[in-house]
Structure 1
């Protein structure tokens, strides 16, 4: 059964965790998003915590920033099960979605790109997971 909720504990709020994410996290770009992600060893109740950032420099009006934030959050909420299915139980994945476009995209475009992002992030996680398993052997 799929879980479509996005609870408060799935949001990245700790300043410490956010600083660690941006200082030592890995990243890639799938336009209009830049993704920064990092595994942490915290035993949180959620497998993945997210942060969504829409820059004020590109969108001066809060209405547009809030609209993009809502669209991004909704696209993640509906498609997060593809990512969470393969995560190990003892690790938490911290993810930051940074909107880098100057244009206001429709929800259909954002959802399509979110699906691509989650598939690529899944591949990146599997690559790092196999690397750590081979290092231990």
Structure 2
């Protein structure tokens, strides 16, 4: 991912409307839940056309969504988003170690909060670690299917 394991630079966040549309409307995305977090993810292969652009492109990009439906006040929505980003930042090494071996693939992730109650940060961290571990298992299983015997 980056040189520092425990950082979350702007380049590792999804801010492109095209990428968000591809993640939610592209049809190639999958989802899993560790209540109250729902993770929507999509794997993609890097383009071989421009290797210089891919050298700086992170292997995983993420975004966080907390619907207004659950928290009317922006203060609470922002608090939950900070909790989720921090949990991802501290647990992304689980995913990074697996993606380093894949080389030509990258992953887009969206974490969606699905509850109207706040959780302690330790609980959010536990749920995030659970989701990322399950994601690595799924990616490993699909990689093993694609390898010719």
Measured against the shorter chain, the TM-score band is over 0.9
Task: Give the match for residue 48 of structure 1.
Answer: 60
Q: CA deviation at 1:2?
A: 5.9
Distance 1:65 1:34 in 2: 16
Q: Would you say 1:132 and 2:136 are equivalent positions?
A: no
Deviation at 1:16, TM superposition (A): 1.1
- The RMSD of aligned alpha carbons is 1.5
3-state DSSP class of the match of 2:90? helix
Find the residue that maps to 2:147 and give its secondary structure: helix
d(CA) in 2 for partners of 1:133, 1:98 = 32
Structure 2: unaligned runs, 5 residues or longer: 47-53
Contact 2:32/2:131 (<8 A) preserved: no
1:38 aligned residue (42, 50, 53): 42
Match of 1:63 in 2: 75
Structure 1 runs of 4+ aligned residues shifted over 3 Å read: none
- After TM superposition, list the pairs within 5 Å mapping 1:1-137 onto structure 2: 3-23=5-25, 24=27, 25-42=29-46, 43=54, 45-87=57-99, 88-134=102-148
In the alignment, is the contact (CA less than 8 A) between 2:37 and 2:111 conserved in 1?
yes
Q: What residue in structure 1 maps to residue 51 of structure 2?
A: none
Moved more, 102-111 or 42-51: 42-51
Work out whether residues 44 and 107 of structure 2, in 8 Å CA contact, stay in contact via their aligned partners in 1. Answer: yes
**SS at the partner of 1:121?**
helix
In structure 1, how many angstroms separate the alpha carbons of the residues matched to 2:83 and 2:74? 14
Greater Cα shift, 21-30 or 45-54? 21-30
In the superposition, the TM-score normalised over structure 2's length comes to 0.85
Task: Give 3-state SS (helix, strand or coil) of 1:20's partner.
Answer: helix
